[in-house]
Structure 1
Amino acid sequence: MAFTGKYELESQENFEQLLKALGFSDDIIRKYKGMSSTVELVQNGESFRCIYHFGSRVITNNFTLGEESEFVSFTGHKVKALAQLEGERKLVVAVQGLTVVMELSGDRMIETITNGEVTLKKISKRI
């Protein structure tokens, strides 16, 4: 499937601004800002498994397109969200005022997380 693969963070823009807009403390922002991260995606039809590695921390989210699912954020908060596929290369997740878009472009995954006026952009390379 199109999304299946492992991706390593290459660059990100507006990380601090988004976390501040979400109300995170400066200590949390400093803790996660420079941390390396990878995400492994496994797509099986309409079911997905996302395994996030933030430093030594691992978070796994399992979900099915079109069904409300529980997601765990990188800070450990649990939230309910709905995931949809737009075309074959764009995954959109709507969660508590945030829109998360994961879009494949060649060997890159471009992830945007938008909260109102602030958008975090992350670019990861397939490894």
Structure 2
Amino acid sequence: MSELNGTWVLESKENFEEFLKALGVGIILRKIAKNITPTLIIKSEGNKWSIKLRSSFKSLEYNFNLEEEFDDETIDGKKAKFLFKLEGNKLITEQRDFKSRELITTVEKYVDKNGYMIEHLCAKNVVAKRTFKRAS
């Protein structure tokens, strides 16, 4: 069982709007994303995982097996290919362009020594950080 399992509420973010710009997200969606506080619900059982993102703007859910690529949509509605894998205590997500398969985004999630879930997001050499606290 992963220490990432549980319900997590966004506490802070750094450079997130610049990250969204690098992804080509329009100004209206960037402003919305800047002002919402999403909740992530992560469940894992062996190789099977579920990540639910809940917010006042939009919700989405990914159900997947580690190391198995699948097609889905990004939060802004673009088709993409996703691959989730574990590297040590980190859950790594690779998001690729649906047609060209070019790497678009890498997201790393892990629980730090203080019990916070840290998320590092990278797109086109722009790195953002989001910190989540465990919901009570």
Deviation sequence 1:63-85 (CA, Å, 0-9, x none):
11111123432223332111110
By percentage of residues, which structure has more strand?
Answer: 1
Supply the distance in 2 between the matched residues of 1:53 and 1:78 (Cα, whole angstroms).
Answer: 20
**1:1-127 equivalences in 2 (<5 Å):** 1-2=1-2, 3-87=4-88, 89-96=89-96, 97-105=104-112, 106-127=114-135
How far has the Cα of 1:28 moved from its partner? 1.4
Supply the distance in 2 between the matched residues of 1:36 and 1:73 (Cα, whole angstroms).
Answer: 18
TM-score (norm 1): 0.91
Q: Secondary structure at the match of 1:57?
A: coil
Would the aligned equivalents of 1:61 and 1:72 in 2 still touch at CA under 8 Å?
A: no
How many percent of aligned residue pairs carry the same amino acid? 32
Quick one: structure 1 residues 56 and 28, their matched pair in 2 at CA, closer, same or farther if it must change by over 3 Å? closer
Letter in 1 for 2:125: E
Deviation sequence 1:6-54 (CA, Å, 0-9, x none):
0000000111101111112211111221111110000010111001012
- Structure 2, unmatched stretches of 5+, are 97-103
How far has the Cα of 1:107 moved from its partner? 2.0
